[in-house]
Structure 1
Amino acid sequence: METFQDSALRDDVKRAVAELGFTKPTPVQAQAIPLILDSDRDLVALARTGTGKTAGFGLPVVDGIDEEDKSVQALILCPTRELCLQIAKDLGTFSRFRKGVKVVAVYGGSPITHQIKDIRAGAQIVVGTPGRTLDLINRKKLKMENLKRVVLDEADEMLNMGFQEELNAILAATPDEKQTLLFSATMPKEAKRISQTYMTDPAEISVGHSDAGNSNIEHQYFKVRGSDRFALLRLLIELDPDLYAVVFCRTRREVNGVSEDLRFAGHAADALHGDMSQAQRDDVMNRFRRRRINILVATDVAARGLDVQDLTHVINYNLPDAPEVYVHRSGRTGRAGKAGSAMSIVTGREVRHIRAIEKYSKIEFKLQDVPSQDEVYRLRALRFANKVKEAKLDDKVAAFLPEVIETFEGMEREELIQKILGYGLGALSSQLSGQKQVQNDNSKDRRDSRPDKGGKEYTTLAMAVGRKHGYTVPQIIGMMNRRLPGKKIAFGKIDIQNNMTYVGVDAREAKKVVAAFEGAEDKGVDLNVRFFEGGTKVSAPWKGGSGKKKKHFKAGNFKPRAKKKHRGQG
């Protein structure tokens, strides 16, 4: 299949594709579309995010709908509301010249009564999230008896989000004779079990999966001390004034803290995490898509299904636990043939996660030197100068050019350039003022921290309070000592930031400190004292290391059942 016009798609579907400006299919589309159209065979397709999977299954699904039959003929399951709406919109576009084809999206956070009404009105294609889809099936509002195709889009993401039981129940409610299509960026064992249980002799294709590094994405990492993460993040953002990025953090607290600190530093940033209401999430995403904000700080759960074009950067404030999650994150940039950059901020101990990702995905990372403030100033000044040089004068402004020239009369060339540069980069100076210098962490990668000469090891704890709450170093020390009466705690470095505080404590007492602060509040704020995300265990004075590891996700119990038969099988 060299072009869409060469395919066996219906003429009205080809017309819709042509009007979208699509001529040549992507590799996954070129392999998947003929296979889905030409047989009833099941399919497992492994393809990275951004490779055109939606059209790969969406065009054949739209093509195969019987316009005279108003019952549900195709069900597409996906992990999030945002992706659900995007797929439904795309399928609506693909079917624009098939007037009898109706697509309905069903998802949580929206009145179920409205969705039931839409299904009753005649929906041949239903796109849904697992929870809401199962709810509608259990209410007997979503009927499966005439279903011809089931698509599991981003299957690995649905399983990572804990939807295994819902997927099992939904698939168990579908007819024996149907075509099942599983699309995924990775193939975890839970997804493999689903394919083995609910699919019969599936065809397999793999595009951009075994070699995730074969793309337009440059993968870089910076090795710093844990306490320098935020300072480095600010420098990376300042390096590129045209940056349009998602910054990934582990927890909602860290997301809130980092996004607020970025806004405090003068950047257009906002947060996205699972504890936000749907209305809040929609508002943030609308502003991000319109570029009213150019930095989105998010957790993996909140960003799943995120479909935003033209991202220049993905920045890992914390690396994910699983290599396949890194592939998902980085795949959000470098789309449609455009260049993208995936940057990761790591401590010495976390370098082993970089090696695990390289081994898993065949990605090659480049270790980069931490940029200095002088380098930031230099690059920004040169970019600004080039923009001034390339600027064109608007006709309306040109009418006043003689008056403007008169304003600058008597100024030498160098003085005028200095004035222009000072005006253009004045905001940068104010943003970086007070910012501490960040250094490369040149310590050797190691699994164990080393004691200082006094024999002490220090573990870094994080607290969800900082300068904006009025805390000082003596207050932090006093608060900790009061929580452990009779214990004299040895402290390492204490770094108070705007919303967070990092405290080095004697490694032997760290667990007791965390336990003593469980559920503790101060000044009406939940202190949330915990081992520093990323697990930084440091020797005085702050040499690197580890604390607690975050547990990997474990899916629920899998209940297999007998394989289903396809049409025509005896």
Structure 2
Amino acid sequence: METFQESELREDVKRAVAELGFINPTPIQAETIPMIMESSRDLVALARTGTGKTAGFGLPVVNDINVDVVAVQALILCPTRELCLQIAKDLAAFARFRKGVEVAAVYGGAPIGQQIRAIEEGAQIIVGTPGRTLDLINRKKLKVDLLDRVVLDEADEMLNMGFQEELNAILAATPENKQTLLFSATMPKEAKRISEDYMNDPAEISAGHSDAGNSKVAHQYFKIKASDRFALLRLLVELEPDMYAVIFCRTRREVDGVSEDLRFAGHAADALHGDMSQAQRDDVMNRFRRQRIKLLVATDVAARGLDVQDLTHVINYNLPDAPEVYVHRSGRTGRAGKEGIALSIVTGRELRKIRDIEKYSNISFELKDVPSQEEVYLRRALRFAESVKAAKLDDKLAGFLPEVIAAFGELEKEELIQQFLAYGLSDLSKHLSEQRTVQNDRRKEEKSKRGSGSFTRLCMSAGKKQGYSVPQVIGMINRKIPGRKIDLGRIDLQNNLTYIDVDSREAKRVVAAFVGVVDKGQELNMRIFEGGASIGTKPPRGKKKPKQFRAGNFKPRTKKKHRKGGK
């Protein structure tokens, strides 16, 4: 299938696709559409955000609805209200020339009565979030006994958000002879279990991971000190005044701090996170889609299902821990064949994450130099000059031109330009002059070159259930081994175990320092972890009691409250 017009889709669906401007299918669409339509076989499709998967399942769903049957024939489940509404909107666009095909969205945080009426009025396609969908099934308002297809979109995200029980209950209520389509960016064990329990010999397709580096997204990163994050963000935003971006932060508190500081600096920015009410989130998203907000600062959870066209940038204020999350984030720009830029602000300790992402997704990162304030001034001044040259004089204002010319009559050409520049960029000059200078973190780079360049994985017999956090683990290691700090890589905190990547030259030293150490009533039993087997060191002879590490003596580092202006 090289073009949509060559596909087996109905003519009225092809017409809708053509009017939407779609000509050539994306790789995931080219594989899924024929497979879904030509057989009733179940399908597992691994596809990242931005690969066009909605049309991949949506076009066959719209195409195959029987308009003579007034019953729900297709159910599409997705993780968030925002994604639910977006999918419903897309399907309605695909069905615009198919008379009798009705689409309804059902989700929490909205009056259930209106959604019940939409179902009763004959919607054949239901797009829903798991909680509200199950509620409607239990109320016997959503009847699923005549379902032909069930689609699980972003299955991994639904499972991450704790919808395992709801999904199991919904799938158990549906007919056995339906076609089940599972779309996911990753395949966690819970999603694997769904495919085994509720799918019959599914076909498997993978698209959008290995080719992530071949998209039109430029992946760039800046290496700085952690204290310079916001100062660098300000420079990047000022350097691109037309930026339309999502800025990802790790915590809700950081989202609020960054968005507030951007607004204080005169930028159209706002926050999106899980502590906001649904009405607040809807208001923010509506303003962002209309570009009244140009910079949306968000957490990953709040941004799930975010589908906004024409984003110029995605900025990682903090890199995510999982490479697949980075691919999700960066996939929100550079869509529909357009170019986009994914920028990441990275500290020396986070360089390993860059390498993990490159290995996972075939992405190639470019290290960029931090822009100077002078570079920002020059870029903005030239843009301002171009804007002034391109401006058109309104006829009403033209009548006052002689008086205005007379008002400037005493100024020479250079003086006039100087005054225009001073007036046009005065706010920029004021804000940047108050900001600290940001530099590339060369010191960290030199330190990494001095290191061994490789890590050894250690395993500790304690984890989340014993009350540990990553900062506590780092603090313990620094406390037990004074002097020069040991280079640490990834720290993977499990329920009862913690895996720690340390500089290979220091691995035995770390193991030796923790011999016999007990903390929180648990012997830590630090050892080298190799291929599922552990190699430890024996306690020294004559030692009767294990050393007691007092958690009370350790004060975990807390993130400093975000300072205004990046100072």
TM-score normalised by the chain length of structure 1: 0.77
SS at match of 2:213: coil
SS at match of 1:291: coil
Give yes or no for contact 1:81–1:107 (8 Å, CA) kept in 2. Answer: yes
1:137-176 paired onto structure 2 within 5 Å: 137-176=137-176
SS at match of 1:285: helix
SS at match of 1:530: coil
Distance 1:511 1:280 in 2: 41
Alignment correspondent of 2:127? 127
1:204 maps to a residue whose letter is: E
Alignment correspondent of 1:15? 15
SS at match of 1:159: helix
Alignment correspondent of 2:182? 182
Q: Give the CA deviation at 1:410.
A: 3.7
Distance 2:50 2:10 in 1: 25
Alignment correspondent of 1:46? 46
Cα separation, partners in 2 of 1:245 and 1:177, compared to 1, 3 Å:
same
Report Cα offsets for 1:480-515 as digits up to 9, x if no partner: xxxxxxxxxxxxxxxxxxxxxxxxxxxx99975758
Alignment correspondent of 2:525? none
Give yes or no for contact 1:147–1:175 (8 Å, CA) kept in 2. Answer: yes
Q: Are 1:251 and 2:279 matched, yes or no?
A: no
Cα separation, partners in 2 of 1:362 and 1:194, compared to 1, 3 Å:
same
Alignment correspondent of 1:229? 229
Distance 1:67 1:323 in 2: 43
Distance 2:221 2:257 in 1: 22
Distance 1:248 1:160 in 2: 18
1:498-509 paired onto structure 2 within 5 Å: none
Q: Give the CA deviation at 1:134.
A: 1.7
Alignment correspondent of 1:548? none
Distance 2:387 2:302 in 1: 36
Distance 1:174 1:376 in 2: 58
Alignment correspondent of 1:359? 359
1:69-468 paired onto structure 2 within 5 Å: 69-442=69-442, 443=444, 444-445=447-448
Give yes or no for contact 1:235–1:376 (8 Å, CA) kept in 2. Answer: yes
Q: Give the CA deviation at 1:230.
A: 1.1
Distance 1:60 1:387 in 2: 47
Distance 1:16 1:38 in 2: 21
Give yes or no for contact 1:266–1:431 (8 Å, CA) kept in 2. Answer: no
Cα separation, partners in 2 of 1:439 and 1:76, compared to 1, 3 Å:
same
Structure 1 stretch displaced more, 162-171 or 394-403? 394-403
SS at match of 2:171: helix
Give yes or no for contact 1:107–1:133 (8 Å, CA) kept in 2. Answer: yes
SS at match of 1:98: coil
Cα separation, partners in 2 of 1:116 and 1:97, compared to 1, 3 Å:
same
Distance 2:437 2:551 in 1: 28
Q: Give the CA deviation at 1:235.
A: 1.1
Distance 1:285 1:70 in 2: 34
Which structure is higher in helix share? 2
Q: Which runs of 5+ in 1 are unaligned?
A: 459-507, 516-528, 534-570
Give yes or no for contact 1:248–1:315 (8 Å, CA) kept in 2. Answer: yes
1:210 maps to a residue whose letter is: S
SS at match of 1:335: coil
Report Cα offsets for 1:180-212 as digits up to 9, x if no partner: 112223333332332233222322233322121
Cα separation, partners in 2 of 1:273 and 1:285, compared to 1, 3 Å:
same
Distance 1:169 1:139 in 2: 14
1:200 maps to a residue whose letter is: N
Q: Give the CA deviation at 1:236.
A: 1.1
1:116 maps to a residue whose letter is: I
Q: Give the CA deviation at 1:395.
A: 4.2
Cα separation, partners in 2 of 1:165 and 1:530, compared to 1, 3 Å:
farther
1:112 maps to a residue whose letter is: I
SS at match of 1:46: strand
Alignment correspondent of 2:469? none
Structure 1 stretch displaced more, 341-350 or 296-305? 341-350
Distance 1:51 1:399 in 2: 53
Aligned Cα RMSD in Å?
Answer: 2.6
Q: Give the CA deviation at 1:450.
A: 8.8
Q: Give the CA deviation at 1:83.
A: 0.8
Distance 1:279 1:210 in 2: 38
Distance 1:510 1:456 in 2: 22
Q: Which runs of 5+ in 2 are unaligned?
A: 456-473, 487-548, 562-567
Give yes or no for contact 1:13–1:59 (8 Å, CA) kept in 2. Answer: yes
Q: Give the CA deviation at 1:22.
A: 2.6
Cα separation, partners in 2 of 1:21 and 1:142, compared to 1, 3 Å:
same
Q: Give the CA deviation at 1:243.
A: 0.7
Report Cα offsets for 1:223-242 as digits up to 9, x if no partner: 11111111111111111110
Give yes or no for contact 1:186–1:209 (8 Å, CA) kept in 2. Answer: no
2:371 maps to a residue whose letter is: P
Q: Are 1:530 and 2:533 matched, yes or no?
A: no
Give yes or no for contact 1:514–1:531 (8 Å, CA) kept in 2. Answer: no
Cα separation, partners in 2 of 1:264 and 1:39, compared to 1, 3 Å:
same
Give yes or no for contact 1:221–1:344 (8 Å, CA) kept in 2. Answer: yes
Distance 1:200 1:455 in 2: 59
Distance 1:290 1:398 in 2: 32
Distance 2:552 2:265 in 1: 34
SS at match of 2:297: strand
Q: Give the CA deviation at 1:396.
A: 4.2
Cα separation, partners in 2 of 1:144 and 1:404, compared to 1, 3 Å:
same
Structure 1 stretch displaced more, 273-282 or 376-385? 376-385
Distance 1:242 1:192 in 2: 43
* Paired residues, number: 470
Report Cα offsets for 1:372-428 as digits up to 9, x if no partner: 211211221122223333334444444443433333224222112211211111111
Distance 1:224 1:511 in 2: 33
Cα separation, partners in 2 of 1:122 and 1:512, compared to 1, 3 Å:
farther
Alignment correspondent of 1:67? 67
Cα separation, partners in 2 of 1:399 and 1:206, compared to 1, 3 Å:
farther
Relative contact order higher in (CA < 8 Å, ≥ 6 apart): 1
Percent sequence identity is 75
2:51 maps to a residue whose letter is: T
Alignment correspondent of 2:530? none
Give yes or no for contact 1:208–1:214 (8 Å, CA) kept in 2. Answer: no
Give yes or no for contact 1:42–1:201 (8 Å, CA) kept in 2. Answer: yes
Give yes or no for contact 1:134–1:170 (8 Å, CA) kept in 2. Answer: yes
Distance 2:379 2:478 in 1: 38
SS at match of 1:23: coil
Distance 1:140 1:346 in 2: 51
SS at match of 1:213: helix
Structure 1 stretch displaced more, 80-89 or 200-209? 200-209
